[in-house]
Each structure stands twice: as structure tokens, then as C-alpha cells.
Chain A
């Protein structure tokens, strides 16, 4: 396990050979801006963990002779935790990185293959598990379904699918402080991760929700000046236009160069904006939360909350498996298991 963390630390350090190479290659890939790459590698690559956390990580994993890992591209640093979990599961680890962004995964595997004191690591193009093996899958629900259906019998599957973060700002919270924390949680990885907050439930009336939206717009504008958003694909840009347009009809929007904040003060439904630094703020009370989250709570991986008011408590009941974090810390879960603690789909 410590081998994995050491390999990660080597990449996180912008002065090492691997650190320089990772930054160069991720900059060339262009999914994040150079500042976004530096933020991800320099501040969000999980390179430290207490013994207690690592013990918990080991305890949550089912062991097997071999572990096969399928990675997704959403978060460039996710490969480290996935490799840590696979290492805890098996002495022999086979990894199929995402085709869209294999960089950190490739570099970690390369480092571990050369330096690991225990276990073996191999990069593969196709996973070929056998009965008795463990398969760890990361990706969209659709990808996981397709892959799981094709697996042989006797394979244990740990699948982590579609998910996102939800933030709750209580009625007594300081809006500017909450907004600053939220902005930090949103901009890292350009909101692409399964912990990235995409919806904020503002406890209270319309005026308070609007104040929060304005504070969030300010905070994200400020952060965007030094950490700009990466390039948008045509599909994402079109989805942002569709979201903006819709929110301009039903509520309000604040559109920055590198973000959008949407506000719905009388939400009829839960609106999930596209993941590209687009945040949806909804004015709610404890009574409306159940209706709004009924079909969506199962996708919530983390709840970032300020305060423990009625809305936060209602959300906790609806999303019991979601991690809990303070605003500003939603993307920094301890290395004590998978980031996603929802019951996983398994074969």
C-alpha cells in the first residue's frame, strides 16, 4: 500500500521527473487547463493516509488471487485510490486504464512495476478475469452494465457507477464562506468527478438562495481567474447552453467565463446540470427535499453540508451511504476505502 502512495507522491511533486512528465502529458491532453492539472496533481493526488485509514481500506476489500481494474477518465488522479484498493485485494493486479486519459494510471503502473516491494502490476488493453478473481469497475452505469454482462461466472465484481456530490447550505450558515468552499469543490477536475458537487440545496427562502447563488458566482469567478476551465467539447458546450437557456426561463443564471450558476427558487424537480463547473442552486425546505431527491438520492456519493439543520438531516436519511464532508472538503475523502460508499452493483 505504501508503494502506491510513494508512487503517487512522486507524481504529485512537480519537481520530480515523473511529476514533470505527468504535467506535460496532461497539459497536452487538454482535458484540464494547465492550472487545473497542477491543482489536481499538486493538491488532490492522495499521497498520505494514516495507518487507521489504510487498515479500513484493507478491511473493506474482498481478497482474491488476482484483481482486474477498469478505470474511467473523469478524474485523472482516481487511478491512485483504485490501485490502492486493488493492491489490498490481490497480489497480482491488472489494470485497463481509460482510453481517453490513461496518463496517471500508466505512470503509476510503470512506477509500481519497477519499484513495488510486494505484488505485481500489469497494464492491459483487455481485462481477462477468471473465476475466483476480483474485478473493480469504475465508469458510467451503462458501461458497468455492459462489462458486467460479459464477465465469466465466479468473478466477484465491485462496480462504482454514475454518481455526484450534493451540497446543503443551512439556514444559519455564512453564505460567503460556504460559497468559497463550494467553489473549491466544484472547480477541481472541472467538476467531472463522482464527488463533484453539482447541486446545492439552499435551506430557506428565495432571497437567501439568490444571495448564495451570487456569492457562488463571485467565488467561482475569482477562482476561475487563476484556475481556468479546460476546453469544452461541442457536446458539453451544447449541454451548457441548453441548461442556461432552461434556467433563464424558470429561474436565473450567472454566467462567467469559466462557470455557470443556475438558480431555481421554486423547484418542481431536481435538475442536474452538465458537469463543467455548472452549479444548480435550489431553494428548499425539509418538506420539499424528499420529493426532489426521491429518484436521485441513490446517485449521491457525498453530501457536503454546512450545519445540521432539517434539510441536511433529511438528505442524510435519503442518502445514507453517501460520505459526509464539510464544504471545501468534498473532494478530499480520507483514503479509507473507495470514494463511493454506496452499495455497489455486483455480479
Chain B
């Protein structure tokens, strides 16, 4: 059994975060106050975070804004345990994809409870992504299992359960992508007249597009959606995101606005989703070139200068510093090497910083799809 004081404090914080999530909105002050509470808890129980605040000379007790919380770099998750509890209390451990990309081992994010994670994922997914309260889920991801470590597979399978349990997987770790079964699932949704939700990495979609060239098997009913996640720098052919969106929309016979990007990572508990306004062209006409993502009320993304880690003015490019209240037992603020621009519309994703190693579930899926081809 975990020692009682940290678990009691952790449970209370999880409960507060879940209340905020259910509320559906939060003031800046609410987020700041809860974030600082979580950070103070983490300073007591997460060794790495305690070292970081000591090195940076931050007095969390005197802090008034969540922006003052030092953000734990994502690389640290690969080099040390970032958790407020010991391994014996691990309920699940999610790991970053790949083996030694950039020379580092896989990052690990341990969870004592997944209740807050599931609520965060489903609440924002319902708001930004789900086509309806019930949908046929077509997953181009491997199935989740208790001994597996992909946070994406976990999220996809939770969505499948919450959307009525009617779903199927069409990517196998050994055999790769099965485009025939994926097409059959699309046919099933069409025949049943139920909206579908396709959940895939960008690379899986590229492989599906290649397999389904000159065929018309994957049309989906009106109202269906496609979620794609991850970038393109890997071993599959690289496809520019606006081109991918058009090709995917055409494949599934959906308007481009129904093809929605997801931004998440192993080191977070929450996800951002692409604003569908962007996909419809509204923002393209106003000159915004890159996809724009919306963060849920309990997440705050700030662009920081890569040298000083100080926030840059709105509209300027910086590295994404992400505050995620759902990260109660790890790091409430993380520092990524992803370039972003924060605007009134949301978070523009601009790719990895120069010199930062590529990462992501999409790369791992590319490995699987390539294997399936040989």
C-alpha cells in the first residue's frame, strides 16, 4: 500500500482537478491556484522536480502564477523517474515510442491512477473530436493491454469503450496495417448508417492511402471524423500535412474539416485538438499557414525563448511549455522541444526545434507498417 500522506494529498488534488474538468471552464486564477497546489505537492514528493526548483532558486510558496513553476524537460522522463510515488504503486507506465532516438532511452510516465487521465481525455475528446455519443471506432493503432505502454493505444481503446464499444483495430505489431479489414470496417459503418471515428497516426494513414490507391472502399457516413496524430519525419514517405488532410478526406469521403489533428505526448495526461475552423479554410484565408490547436481549460501552452525559457510575446515563435493540471503525480509543467506560436486562435504547431531528435508514436507505427510490408 502506498504511504498514506502523499496518497491522501494526491487523491485530493486529483479530485480537485476532476471537478475543474467537469466544470468545463476555468479562470486563469483557478488554473494558477490549482497548478501551484500541485507543484507544491510535487516539490515534496517528486525528487527530480525538487532538484529543479532548488537549482533554479524558485520559491513556490511565494509564487502567485503557474508561469513561475519550472517546467520539467521531456528528456528528463527518459533519464529519471518523474513520479510522486514508488514503482510498487504503478498502475500503468506509458513510454515514449522508439528505442534510442536522439541517443536517449524511452521516456516513462508512471500513473498511480488513470481516472483523471481518462476524464481529461474523454471530456476534451467529446468536445473537439467525437462525432456523436456513439460511433463506430476504426483504430489504426494496436489494441491496448495492461502490459502495453502506449498512451495513444490506451486513449483510443478508452474512446472505443465510451463511444459504445463498437470498434475494431487494424494495426498489428507483428503483421502491420491491414487495409482490407480497415476497409471492411468502413463498409460496416456505412451499411449501418452510424458515424465512424477513425483514430490513427499520420504514418498509418499514409500507409493506408498507399494501400488504397485507386480504390473506393473507405467512404464513411456523413458526420464521421478522422483523428490523426504525430508528424512525418521518418522512414515512410513524408507528406505535407495539408496534403495529407485532403488525401485522407478524399479517401474517407469526408469534408477536410472532419479530419482533425491531435497533439499529445507520453509526458502529458491531456491532449489538444485541431480547431476545425482551421480545416475549413477560415484561418487559411487569414494567412495562418500552420494547423491551430485548442487546449482544454485545464491546460495552458506558452511559447518560451529556447535560450532563456522566458515567455515570448504572443504571436512569436518559441518552444512549447505545457501546463497540464491532470499531471498530478508527475510534472504539472513540462518543457518540450516543439516549436509553437500562440495566437488568439490557439496554438500553432510548427514542428521540432532544430537539433531536437524526432519522436512520437507515429514513428513507431511507421516501423510496424514497414514491417508488415516485408
A residues lining the B interface (CB < 8 Å): 234-235, 237-239, 241-242, 245-246, 248-253, 264, 266-272, 295-296
Given A237-B306, A241-B306, residue A246 in contact with residue B76 (CB < 8 A): yes
Complex: how many Å from CA A242 to CA B78? Answer: 14
Known A-B contacts: A234-B307, A268-B79, A268-B80. Give 17 more (CB < 8 A).
A237-B307, A238-B355, A241-B306, A245-B73, A246-B73, A248-B51, A248-B55, A249-B72, A249-B79, A249-B80, A249-B82, A252-B51, A264-B79, A269-B104, A271-B79, A295-B100, A295-B103
* CB nearest to B354 among chain A residues: A235
- Known: A249-B72, A269-B104. Is A241-B52 also a contact (CB below 8 A)? no
Interface pair A234/B306, CB less than 8 Å apart: yes
With a CB–CB cut-off of 8 A, which chain B residues contact A269?
A: 78-79, 103-105
Closest A residue by C-beta to B80: A250
From B73, B79, B105, A242 is in contact (CB under 8 Å) with: B73
Q: How far is the CA of A63 from the CA of B85 in the complex (A)?
A: 63
Tell me the smallest distance from the CB of B166 to a CB of chain A, in Å.
42
Q: Which of B49, B80, B307 contacts A241 (CB 8 A)?
A: B307
B residues lining the A interface (CB < 8 Å): 48-49, 51-52, 55-56, 72-73, 75-76, 78-80, 82, 100, 103-105, 306-309, 319, 335, 337, 353-356
Q: Chain B contacts of A250 at CB under 8 A? A: 48, 51, 76, 79-80
Q: List 25 A-B contacts (CB under 8 A).
A: A234-B307, A235-B355, A238-B319, A238-B355, A241-B306, A241-B309, A242-B73, A245-B52, A245-B335, A246-B73, A246-B79, A249-B49, A249-B72, A249-B73, A249-B82, A250-B48, A250-B76, A253-B55, A266-B80, A268-B80, A269-B78, A271-B79, A271-B103, A295-B100, A296-B103
**Minimum CB distance partner of B99 in chain A:** A295
A299 CB, nearest partner CB in chain B, Å: 9
Q: Is there contact, CB below 8 Å, between A272 and B306?
A: no
Q: Which 9 A-B pairs have the closest CB atoms?
A: A238-B306, A248-B55, A249-B76, A250-B80, A249-B48, A246-B75, A249-B52, A237-B307, A250-B79
Please report the C-alpha to C-alpha distance between residue A49 and residue B127 in the assembled complex, in whole angstroms: 73
Cβ-defined contact, A268 with B105, below 8 A: yes
- Inter-chain contacts of B78 with A (CB < 8 A): 268-269
Residues on A with C-beta less than 8 A from B79 are 246, 249-250, 264, 267-269, 271
CA distance A242 to B105 in the complex (A): 17
Q: Can you name the residue of chain A whose Cβ is closest to the Cβ of B53? A: A248
Whether B337 and A242, one on each chain, are in contact in the complex, defined by CB atoms closer than 8 angstroms, is: yes
Beta-carbon contact of B309 and A245 below 8 Å: yes
In the bound complex, residues from chain A placing their C-beta under 8 Å from that of B49 are: 249
Known contacts A235-B355, A268-B105, A270-B103; is-contact A248 B56 (Cβ 8 Å): yes
Known: A234-B306, A241-B307, A295-B103. A252 touches B55 (CB 8 A): yes
CA distance A296 to B80 in the complex (A): 19
